[in-house]
Chain A
Amino acid sequence: MKWDPRIEEMPAEQLAELQYKRMKTLVYRLYSFSDFYHRRMKENRVHPDDIRSLDDVTKLPFMYKSDLRDNYPDKIFTASQDELVRYHVSSGTTGKPTVVGYTQNDLELWTTSLARGLTACGLGRGDVMQVSYGYGLFTGGLGLHYGAERIGATVVPTSVGNTERQIELMQDLRVTAIACTPSYMVHMGEVAEKMGVSIEKDTNLKTAVLGAEPWSEQMRTHIQNEMGIRAYNIFGTSEISGPMFCDCAEQNGIHIWGDMAYTEIIDPETGEQLQPGEKGELVMTILQKEALPMIRYRIGDITSLDTSLCACGRTHPRIDRLQGRVDDMLIIRGINVFPSQVEHALLGIPEVSGHFMIIVDKKGALDEMLVQVEMNPGAFSDKVQDIMEIRTKVSHILRNSLNISVGVELAAPGTLPRFEGKAKRVIDRRLN
């Protein structure tokens, strides 16, 4: 089944032509109406007239996450207040989050993209979809919610947490599809087992749309076999709207709708464009985004591009599942965490010092992040309660700034490693 066969099966040349036309319009629009892009293009001595084919896109400058931070909150936006209908907020590299604004059309495109993707996963009106991504400022919950609603599925907006209740609802409401992180899916399976519930035998679940964190083909096989379901991979970051693209029934790469996005893979060091099949950093231009336009945005994920025709008949290029990051960003339970955020948060707490370590591990199926930080000698008390309160305070502040709960261990002054040169404060013990 295809949501929009005319677009999804559009011949490659025609698609490229459409991309070029939209790219050209975008570049002209932003050169004319966006101070940020005008300046950026001027600095790089490129004019919209220099873009005469899709190959000329390499002449355009990149856009970085730091550009969003430097223009916090909305200085890059190209929509007025009455056109904006939504804000989402995601991790920034320091204290301020990354803010993404949406016009009605932006929401419409995002939802359409997901409607195509969910249909490609075999979902439709008869399905009951449990959305177990976080709702609110995080794009996962509302994104999948709107997508599932568009295809006419029954949406159960469970959001995250309360796993036992989620499993009860899955059974009671005869849920057929779920959207969550792959590790939460595995966790659900484990909790279900403890409750004496077999996802395969005791529920109607048959489809899972999993994303927001990297996972492997082995994990897919494991989930599919253990639970008797089909597990699909979904990709997207809040900067490009949210979770937006997913694989089809072939499970052979994530279709990036070419009419919406122009995809490049580059060498993260040199910025050179790489060939299909070569591994490098994902760079995306979202062709019709209105509120927060993105030209050649450096996503930071490592993958490769496949432009061959998919067996499903969709002509749009695919990317491989994500293979890692070019920076030190961590993904903990689907939430992006930068070590610099942790540092920034700890610096604001007088009871602790700036010496810290981040230890990431798996507890069962779920990620666990532990922050060890040295106490300042002045904060020591002989009452255990006082020290526990400091720990609670630190974990509270970290939770507020990272949006995930992390474990905190207070260490004695002088006991954590010191670094000369570049600090290696992250120990990631998860197997990939």
Chain B
Amino acid sequence: METDDYIIKQISVFSENKPGRLAAIAKALQDEKINIFAFSIAEAKGFGVVRLLVDKPEPALKKLADIGFMVSFTDVIAVRMKDEPGGLFDIAKILGESEINIEYSYAYSGKEAAVLILRVDRIKEAIEKMTGRGADLLKAEMFL
């Protein structure tokens, strides 16, 4: 198993906390016919970081950079959860027992399953531990 196969490129966008910024990001992606699987916003004083998982990361990054946004890729992992009670617990338990810290996470509920996106402090170890214990990690190629 190549752990790299499971490292997914999330787009992180620097944005000021003011009206219209998310719309500007969404509009740019729409123009490029890029589909957003999931996103979240992290807030700080006066600014925030918009985090996006998209189907075409490279063109999306380029487009956002071209229109002046400060952007970068961040490595995350995505894992399918059973869409039933205990689904999140199964995953959180693996990381907790391995003393891997979840820096942040967000989720989306797709057609076949709920997907949890995780930013962790030791990503390769997290992938090994999770695949080793049968967690259903999404491959990066799904997002290309």
Q: Which residues of A contact B (CB under 8 A)?
A: 384-385
> Chain B contacts of A384 at CB under 8 A?
43
> Chain A contacts of B43 at CB under 8 A?
384-385
> Chain A contacts of B45 at CB under 8 A?
385
Tell me the smallest distance from the CB of A385 to a CB of chain B, in Å: 6
Lowest 3 CB-CB distances: which A-B pairs, in order?
A384-B43, A385-B43, A385-B45
Tell me the smallest distance from the CB of A156 to a CB of chain B, in Å: 36
Tell me the smallest distance from the CB of A55 to a CB of chain B, in Å: 64
Q: Give the distance in Å from the alpha carbon of A384 to the alpha carbon of B45 in the complex.
A: 10
Q: Which residue of B lies closest to A384 (CB)?
A: B43
Tell me the smallest distance from the CB of B75 to a CB of chain A, in Å: 23
Which residues of B from 37 to 80 have beta carbons under 8 Å from A? 43, 45
Q: Which residue of A lies closest to B42 (CB)?
A: A384
Tell me the smallest distance from the CB of A1 to a CB of chain B, in Å: 55
Tell me the smallest distance from the CB of B113 to a CB of chain A, in Å: 26
3 A-B contacts, Cβ less than 8 Å apart?
A384-B43, A385-B43, A385-B45
Tell me the smallest distance from the CB of B80 to a CB of chain A, in Å: 27
Q: Give the distance in Å from the alpha carbon of A384 to the alpha carbon of B43 in the complex.
A: 8
> Chain B contacts of A385 at CB under 8 A?
43, 45
Q: Give the distance in Å from the alpha carbon of A384 to the alpha carbon of B104 in the complex.
A: 13
Tell me the smallest distance from the CB of B42 to a CB of chain A, in Å: 8
Q: Give the distance in Å from the alpha carbon of A384 to the alpha carbon of B41 in the complex.
A: 12
Q: Give the distance in Å from the alpha carbon of A385 to the alpha carbon of B45 in the complex.
A: 8
Q: Which residue of A lies closest to B17 (CB)?
A: A385
- B 8-50 to A, binary, CB cutoff 8 A, 1 in contact else 0: 0000000000000000000000000000000000010100000
Tell me the smallest distance from the CB of B125 to a CB of chain A, in Å: 27
Q: Give the distance in Å from the alpha carbon of A21 to the alpha carbon of B45 in the complex.
A: 65
Q: Which residue of B lies closest to A383 (CB)?
A: B43
Tell me the smallest distance from the CB of A383 to a CB of chain B, in Å: 8
Tell me the smallest distance from the CB of B41 to a CB of chain A, in Å: 11
Tell me the smallest distance from the CB of B103 to a CB of chain A, in Å: 14
Q: Give the distance in Å from the alpha carbon of A384 to the alpha carbon of B40 in the complex.
A: 14
Tell me the smallest distance from the CB of A283 to a CB of chain B, in Å: 51
Q: Give the distance in Å from the alpha carbon of A385 to the alpha carbon of B42 in the complex.
A: 11
Q: Give the distance in Å from the alpha carbon of A385 to the alpha carbon of B43 in the complex.
A: 8
Tell me the smallest distance from the CB of A310 to a CB of chain B, in Å: 55
Q: Give the distance in Å from the alpha carbon of A385 to the alpha carbon of B17 in the complex.
A: 12
Tell me the smallest distance from the CB of B57 to a CB of chain A, in Å: 27
